[in-house]
Amino acid sequence: MKQLFLFIFCMLVSKTGLTQETCSRIIDKANPVDTAKYNVTYSLKYKFHPDIRDYYDDVRIVQIGKRCIKDYSDIINHFDSLATEQIRRGAESYSNVSGEPWPLEIIRPIRGEKADLKYRLSISAFFVYQDSVPSLEWNFSDEGADTIMGYECRKATAKFAGRRYTAWFTPEIPLPFGPYKFGGLPGLILKIEDAERQFIWEAIGFQKTNTPIIEHTYRDGNDKRCSAAEVEKTLVRYFKSPVGFMISEMGGDSGKVHIVGKDGKVMNNADASQISVPYKPLEIK
C-alpha cells in the first residue's frame, strides 16, 4: 500500500525551549528475540540539561528474558503500533507520537559487553548502533530502608560515564537488573537517579509474564548504522541548532521547516536557526 506523507517538519518554541513532534514509524516486521519472564514499568523524568527547569515524561517498559533485556518507550511503541494499523487500513496519514518521550531503545544481553541501541532523533535521523555495557562498582549505604511500590529497598551508589548515581533496589525481587544499562545489584532496581537529577527512573509496575521480546524493523528504511561516538557528535550538532540541523537533513530546503514562536506565529528560519538548546549527554565520556 502506498503511504502518503507530508514532509513538513514543525517545531515549537515552548517553556522548555525548542521541542519537536516525535515521528511515528511504520512497523515492517516484528522479530521475536527472546521471551520476557518479567515486565517492569518505570516512570522516567528527564531533561536535556540539568539547568532546564521543566522535565519531560516517559513511560518505559523493561522486559527481562533469559537471554536479553529490552528497555523501550511504551508511548512511542503505542503510537508506532497505532500508525501501522492506520496505514494497514488504508489511511493516507497517521498519528504521530504525543508528548516528549525519550527516543531511545536498548536491547542488551543478560551476559555480554555490547548492547544494541536505536535513537530516534527526527524524520530522517534514526540511528542504529552498539555500545558497551558497564560492570558497575556499587557502594552500599547504611541508611535506613525506603519503600517503593510496597517493596523494602536498600540504597547504593556508583559512578558511571561521568555521573554519580544513587539507586534504590529491593532484595525482595532477586533480579540484578534495572533500566537502561544499570544492574549488578542483589535485587531489582526500583529507582535510580543521577546526582544532578537530570534523569530519574522510578518503578511503577512489576509483573511476571510470558510475552515475546520483539525487535522491530521499519518500512521507511532510514536507519543509519553508525558508532556511539558518531551518534553523540550528531546530537551535539542538533542541540546547537535544531532548526539548522533539520534544514540540513532535508537537503537545505528551509520551506519544509516551520517554527512556531510563543506568540503562535511562524518565525523566520534564519532567526530560528540561531536558537540552541542546552544539552548534557546522559553518558559524559
Q: Give the start-to-end residue ranges of the domains of the chain.
A: 23-217
Indicate if the pLDDT at residue 230 is higher than 50: yes
What pLDDT sits at residue 259?
A: 64
Residue 160: in which H helix or E strand, if any?
strand 151-160
Q: How confident is the model at residue 3 (pLDDT cuts 50, 70, 90)?
A: very low
48-64 confidence digits (pLDDT tens):
999 999 999 999 999 99
Half-sphere exposure of 31 (CA within 13 A, CB side): 8
pLDDT at 32 over 60: yes
Query: Where is pLDDT greater, at 114 or 272?
Result: 114
Nearest to 62 by CA among 102, 31, 107: 107
Question: 3-state class of 260 per DSSP?
Answer: strand
- The lowest-confidence range among 120-124, 135-139, 205-209 is 120-124
Quick one: what percent of the chain has pLDDT higher than 70?
84
What is the architecture, at CATH level 2, of domain 23-217? Clam (2.50)
Amino acid identity of 188? L
Taking residues 225-254, report their average pLDDT: 83
* Averaged confidence pLDDT in the chain: 87
Q: Over the Cα atoms of the chain, what is R_g?
A: 20
Q: What is the DSSP string of 75-141?
A: HHHHHHHHHHHHHHTT-SS-PPPPS----EEEEEESS-SEEEEEEE-SSS-EEEEEEE------EE-
pLDDT band for 222, please (50, 70, 90 cuts).
confident
H/E element, 217: strand 199-218
Residue 7 has pLDDT above 60, yes or no: no
